[in-house]
A and B are shown apart, each in its own frame.
Chain A
Amino acid sequence: MEQQLAELTTKIAELEAQAGWGTTVAVEAFYWWCTGLMVIIHAGFLAYEMGASRKKNVLASGIKNILAFAFLVPTFYFIGWWIYLAFPGGLIPDLEAGAGGLPWSESMGPNLADNASGIFWAAFTLFAATTASIFSGAVIERIRLSSFIILAIVLGSVAWILAAAWAWHGDGWLLTKFGWHDFGAAGCVHMVAGFFALGVLINLGPRIGKFNADGTPNDLSPHNLPMATMGLMMIIVGFFGFLGGCIIYNGGDQWTTIFGNPATLSAVAFNTLMCFAGGIIMAWVLTRDPFWMMSGALAGIFGAAPGLDMYYPPLAFLLGMGGAASAVFAARFLERTLKIDDAVGAVGVHGFAGLFGVLAFGIFASGYPNVGDYPATSFMGQLIGAIAMFATGFLPGYLISLLLKGMGILRIPREAELLGMDKAKVPVSAYPEDPHHAAPGAVPA
């Protein structure tokens, strides 16, 4: 009898160990595939940004977009993950909490006792690269590449991740002090990137020919609208990985959000599709333009992103419409009134639709309990968070681009802008059979 009990105990221990490993590996695999899907966001941004450029700049825009991704990866390794772990309390780092994110930590490389750090670092790196790609589209056709890379690193490896430590962390001060809620990162990803871009655009100025002497805008149309539109649809596909990465897989227990409240992927599925559809429909009503319809899809998702885990799906549909409307009207205001040349509408789509989403959550979803002793969700909490997200994006974008402008290295020379960046500095041609683009690097007489 005792021997049988001992065998049974051993068997149970083996089964428990197997179940534990099954859970560990399943969690790892879930985020691995979320990260893989998020790479499609960058394929989409690449197509969208190159399509949105004029023929003379298409490859230069592609190079800029690819390099934003490439430089974000190592710099996020060097400093980004440490910032996320060390700064949830504000601007003073918690050195003990941040130690695991230092690039010489035992967690920051192959480690058989740590199946989590690498996969979460990778997912957050893809979020960081997303912020850089958002910014990248706004400044096409006149920014200097090396200065763009510096700005992209500041945005993706410092500004957004500092905002994420505050607004997308289980101990972030916006949650613990104000009950902030933002399931889909409308604040720390989209507001920060959108308003960072606005800060840079103010110093960068419009493309030559964008505005007439009387201030009226000209249409510098995308050279390949179908490619840009397809790129936007690819971004939507990638967002299913992005939103999957926003939920915490707890193995043998219910999913939770990053803020600790229980949630389901079913909730996110309902609401993501509903706000996506709402965004397209509203943008179609307002513009009839397929580029803006797909941008409206994105803005629709951001308009409902903070509450994708909680909203009644028809409300998500209406908020999607609101997000798209806010993006379209903001883009028109920026161009027609403030004379800001945002080539792809990134400030409207990400900055203003994200702002709309964050505040809408405060209006429609206040009063939800948070875990522990943290305050319940509220409009004031969302408003305070929105101000913090705006400042974390806009201030570094404006100040560092002002510095680069003062050094004379923010913008390419006028002659190169008129000629086209591809001919000025790219050793290959996008359209070699086109007589105007046949000779890469050649300077016309």
Chain B
Amino acid sequence: MGSPITNWDGATAYFTGFGSSTPGIILLIAIAAVVGAIFVGHLHESHAYSKVK
């Protein structure tokens, strides 16, 4: 995590964690968050609709 550069001269990709495994881990967490949010939405709907029935 943190800065992958120590100097702006000649810097190219400089996003947090670039060049390490950190972006991969964050990417997986982000994917899991999207899937999880859909699942939470599904549970909420099931609960809400079961009350209506």
Interface on A for B, CB 8 Å cutoff? 71, 74-75, 78, 103-104, 106-107, 109-114, 144-146, 149-150, 409, 412-413, 415-416, 419, 424-425, 443
Contact = CB atoms under 8 A, between A and B. Distances in A.
Given A412-B49, A443-B51, A149 B38 contact: yes
B38 A413 contact: no
A65 to B, nearest CB: 15
A409 to B, nearest CB: 7
Contact of B42 (A78, A146, A419): A146
Interface residues on B, range: 20 to 34
B18 A106 contact: yes
Interface in B1-33: 11-15, 18, 23-24, 27, 30-31
Given A104-B24, A416-B52, A425-B44, A111 B14 contact: yes
Nearest to A144: B45
From A106, A107, A146, name the one whose CB has the most chain B CB atoms within 10 angstroms. A146
Contacts of A425: 44-45, 48-49
Nearest to A113: B12
A71 B18 CA distance: 25
Nearest to A77: B30
A89 to B, nearest CB: 27
17 contacts: A71-B38, A78-B27, A78-B31, A78-B34, A109-B15, A109-B23, A110-B13, A110-B14, A110-B15, A144-B45, A145-B41, A146-B39, A146-B41, A413-B52, A415-B49, A416-B53, A425-B49
Contacts, number: 71
Contacts of B30: 74, 78
Contacts of A112: 11-12, 14
Contacts of A109: 13, 15, 18, 23
Given A109-B13, A424-B49, A146 B23 contact: no
B27 to A, nearest CB: 5
A402 B48 CA distance: 24
Contact of B34 (A71, A107, A409, A443): A71
A409 B48 contact: no
A178 to B, nearest CB: 36
Contacts of B42: 146, 409
A291 B17 CA distance: 50
A416 B15 contact: no
Nearest to A423: B52
Nearest to A424: B52
A149 B12 contact: no
A149 B41 contact: yes
Nearest 6 interchain pairs by C-beta: A109-B15, A106-B13, A425-B48, A146-B42, A113-B12, A111-B13
Contact of B38 (A104, A114, A146, A419): A146
B2 to A, nearest CB: 14
A29 to B, nearest CB: 21
A144 B49 CA distance: 10
Nearest to B12: A113
Contacts of B53: 413, 415-416
Nearest to A426: B48
Contacts of A409: 42
B27 A415 contact: no
A104 B27 contact: yes
A63 to B, nearest CB: 10
Contacts of B18: 106, 109
Nearest to B48: A425
A415 B45 contact: no
Contacts of A419: 52
Contacts of A114: 12-13
Contacts of A111: 12-15
A81 to B, nearest CB: 14
A419 B48 CA distance: 12
Quick one: which of A78, A412, A416 has the most chain B CB within 10 A?
A416
Given A111-B12, A146-B38, A443-B52, 10 more contacts: A78-B31, A104-B24, A106-B12, A109-B13, A113-B12, A113-B13, A146-B39, A146-B41, A415-B52, A424-B51
